[in-house]
């Protein structure tokens, strides 16, 4: 989003919020929420998904129309192992199979998928039965000579103990990491993580998602870097960098200008399939929608 345009809109939005009344009536059917409905939906999310919790935030930034101890929702240390562009590249390389494999999908060539014509390579693979421990000949039994080459484990018995103590796998991994200049936790896969929070936006009358990231070494991630974990369709269009409304910390945010219309369509679809959903299910549907914007931030354990 253009910085100048965003700055002007933010100033306008702040001015309007200062004088506009707080929504009191129900808005779920229209894709929006009142503050009371937001709290009701948040309570259900926290109850069903313990990874989410209510937070109070900075007292000086508290909103009077929300309970003091329920200003916003947050889930912390959410893993994000891959960048969004990697997932999109993988999805773009898929191809449908035909013939006996019709109905299945093969990964793209760049991601381990087998190219057409690679079947010939399978012929170069030896049959399992043709392998011998000494690496020679075929699977036929040429006699008992091979048995003489197999060492007897009794030769390795410890005179002072009945069992031979072998180094643990984790010890080997740590030694290998140290030899390469690493530290003791090199056997642990390091990923980016995010604190994901949901606030109530008075102007748009919908929830709004905020992202505060940390790199693989738990150092604070610049908000602009979070764009790497947003789908290409949204990264430069609906994600903005703003101070978090309850902490003041600069954060990446998924702008809520389209949330109401999208949620209205989803509610209509749910109504046609299963009847009118309860308002306390709003955030579950909302998080499914947001997952398409940040596909590699793995916060969604709602189903």
Give the active site residues. 257
What is the C-alpha to C-alpha distance for residues 228 and 7, in angstroms, rounded to an integer?
23
List all residues 6 or more positions away from 277 whose beta carbon is below 8 Å from its beta carbon. Answer: 267, 270, 271, 285
By the 8 A CB rule, do 262 and 31 touch?
A: yes
SS (H, E, C) the chain: CCHHHHHHHHHHHHHHHHHCCCCCCCCHHHCCCCHHHHHHHHHHHHHHCCCCEEECCCHHHCCCCCCCCCCEEEEEEEEECCCHHHHHHHHHCCEECCHHHCCCEECCHHHCCCCCCCHHHHCCCCCHHHCCCCCCCCCCCCCCHHHHHCCCHHHHCCCCCCCCCCCCHHHHHHHHHHHCCCCCCCCCCCCEEEEEEEEEECCCCEEEEEEEEECCCCCECCHHHHHHHCCHHHHCCCEEEEECCCCCCEEEEECHHHHHHHHHHHHHHHHHHHCCCCHHHHHHHHHHHHHCCCCCCCCCCCC
């Amino acid at each position: 989003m253009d910085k100048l345009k965003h700055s002007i809109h933010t100033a306008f939005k702040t001015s309007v919020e200062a004088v506009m009344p707080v929504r009191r009536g129900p808005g779920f059917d229209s894709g929006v929420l009142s503050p009371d409905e937001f709290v009701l939906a948040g309570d259900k999310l926290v109850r069903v998904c313990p990874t989410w919790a209510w937070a109070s935030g900075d007292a000086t930034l508290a909103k009077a129309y929300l309970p003091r101890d329920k200003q916003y929702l947050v889930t912390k240390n959410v893993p994000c192992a891959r960048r969004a562009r990697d997932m999109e590249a993988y999805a773009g390389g898929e191809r449908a199979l035909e013939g006996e494999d019709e109905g299945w999908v093969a990964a793209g060539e760049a991601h381990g998928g087998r190219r057409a014509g690679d079947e010939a390579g399978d012929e170069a693979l030896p049959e399992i039965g043709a392998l011998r421990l000494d690496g020679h000949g075929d699977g036929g039994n040429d006699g008992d000579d091979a048995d003489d080459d197999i060492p007897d484990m009794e030769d390795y018995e410890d005179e002072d103990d009945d069992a031979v103590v072998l180094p643990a796998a984790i010890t080997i991994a740590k030694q290998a990491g140290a030899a390469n200049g690493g530290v003791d936790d090199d056997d642990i896969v390091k990923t980016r993580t995010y604190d994901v929070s949901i606030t109530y936006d008075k102007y748009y009358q919908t929830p709004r998602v905020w992202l505060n990231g940390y790199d693989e070494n738990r150092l604070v991630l610049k908000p602009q870097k979070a764009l790497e974990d947003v789908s290409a369709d949204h990264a430069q269009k609906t994600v903005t960098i703003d101070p978090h409304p309850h902490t003041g910390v600069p954060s990446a945010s998924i702008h809520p200008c389209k949330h109401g219309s999208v949620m209205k369509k989803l509610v209509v679809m749910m109504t046609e399939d299963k009847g009118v959903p309860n308002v306390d299910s709003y955030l579950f549907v909302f998080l499914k929608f947001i997952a398409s914007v940040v596909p590699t931030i793995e916060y969604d354990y709602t189903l």
